[in-house]
Amino acid sequence: MTITVTQLNRYIKSIIEKDIHLVNVVVKGELSNFKLHTSGHCYMTLKDENSAIRAVMFKSAASLLKFRPENGMKVVCEGRISVYERDGQYQLYINAMQPDGVGDLHVAFEQLKEKLQKEGLFDPKKKKPIPKFPKTVGVITSPTGAAVRDIVNVITRRYPSAEILIMPVLVQGDGAAEQIAKAIYYFNREKSADVLIVGRGGGSIEELWAFNEEPVARALFASEIPTISAVGHETDFTIADFVADLRAPTPSAAAELAVPSKLELMALLRQNYSRMLYAVRKSIESKKEILSRFAIKNPMDMVNQNRIMVDNSVKHLMSAAGKIFQQKSKALAVAAARINDLSPLNVLARGYGVVEKEGRIIKSVKQISKGDALYVRLSDGNVKCSAHETEEFVNV
């Protein structure tokens, strides 16, 4: 009987798929040639020291992986053996995969932690300070858990003037991470809080996993409002703890970190008041000591002293002004006498006269011609005359 290649491969496939030992197998090995196709299917080779087998993980199963498969990773795969008819190649069809030796959530945690750390989401320099006196505290958590009651009780007791806005979200299971991230974005968009508390009570790693997912980490890092991670576990950390501006070990501790204590503030105010009062008293005593060094203790004595000083100053000024006046008067008299001696009027009074011609003073006979009209100024009047004759002196 002659059969086709397709018929042969199909027959072999039917035999393999009927083998109860191959319907559900668990195989461990090392991943190589791993490829994530655009369709979402994963293609790879699973090998050990001596053998290899091709394997495929379809999108429906691959979407449930918590970690990212990588070449060289040792894994444990659960699936079935069948034949790919086109190539006549038998291969492992994987339904589930987890890292060999450690849980898949642990690997996923370390992979995401390494990725975000390289991007700088954990950088302490990018952490925002928590406000000292917030007016509004935003709380993102389950509305029915113990965490929200603890947070409300602590804030109300410590700082009753703060307003509390609660955004109810899922904190575990499918869709929890997306709800938490959307709540963070909402508070930032509306600018409705001064600080955010994001968290839940304690639980297993599976129950806390929403706070290890990338959407929550991205939302916390992008938040302009300072954030406090409040996942209820003392020793272990979530990705949210690394990204948030401040990590609290429990929701109650987060509430204490978010607001100040009213009692502590009142004690601080009393302490500061006492210090201020002490400083004022010391300052007054110091000023009194300085004033006590002065002889005059009555303000009117100081006024009277100033009056005496003013009167003495006026007397000194008047005396000095009188002396200056006398000195200036004497100097003026001397100057007047000198001016009087030099005055032409005094010369005329002694019998001299001044001859003028056409308004100009004549100093030489050469300036006069026969018949010129002349004016002679004497001490008590003027004489009009004419020149009959001029005679010039001859120097001997």
Instruction: Report the number of distinct structural domains present in the chain.
Output: 4
Between 207 and 228, the more confident residue is: 228
Element at 250 (helix H, strand E): none
Same domain, 331 and 374: no
| Whether the Cβ atoms of residue 26 and residue 78 lie closer than 8 Å to each other | yes
How do residues 3-30 score in pLDDT, each as one tens digit? 899 989 899 999 998 888 898 999 988 8
Q: 246 and 160 in one domain? A: yes
Q: Is residue 394 part of a domain?
A: no
> Residue 57 and residue 87: Cα distance in Å, rounded?
18
What percentage of the chain reaches a pLDDT higher than 70? 92
- pLDDT exceeds cutoff 90 at 125: yes
User: Of 327, 342, 357, which residue is a domain's last?
Assistant: 342
Q: Are 25 and 95 in contact (CB under 8 A)?
A: no
* pLDDT class of 108 with cuts at 50, 70, 90: confident
Q: Is the pTM of this model over 0.75?
A: no
Pairwise CA distance, residues 201 & 181, whole Å: 18
Asked whether residue 208 falls in the same domain as residue 255, the answer is yes
Domain that holds residue 249: 122-260
pLDDT, tens digit, 9 for 90 and up, residues 293-322: 665 556 676 677 777 777 777 677 777 777
| Residue 313 counted as domain residue | yes
Runs of H (alpha helix) within the chain: 5-18, 20-23, 59-62, 104-119, 146-158, 176-190, 214-222, 239-243, 251-258, 262-292, 299-341, 344-349
Confirm whether 107 is domain-assigned.
Answer: no
